[in-house]
Copies of this chain bind each other. A is one copy, B any other.
Amino acid sequence: MRQHQTRFTIPTHGKGLVEITREVADWLDQTDIETGLVTLLCRHTSASLLINENAASAVPRDTLRWLERIAPEGPHYEHDDEGPDDMPAHLRSVLTGASLSVPVGEGRLLLGTWQGIFLAEHRARPHRREIVAHVIGD
A interface vs B, CB < 8 Å? Answer: 1, 3, 5, 35-37, 39, 41-45, 50-53, 56, 58-59, 61-63, 65-66, 70-71, 76-79, 81, 87, 90-91, 93-103, 105, 110-115, 130, 132-134, 136-138
Contact = CB atoms under 8 A, between A and B. Distances in A.
Indicate how many identical chains form the complex.
3
A90 B17 CA distance: 14
Given A90-B63, A91-B63, A112-B43, A79 B56 contact: yes
A65 B1 CA distance: 44
A110 B62 contact: no
A36 to B, nearest CB: 7
Nearest to A104: B134
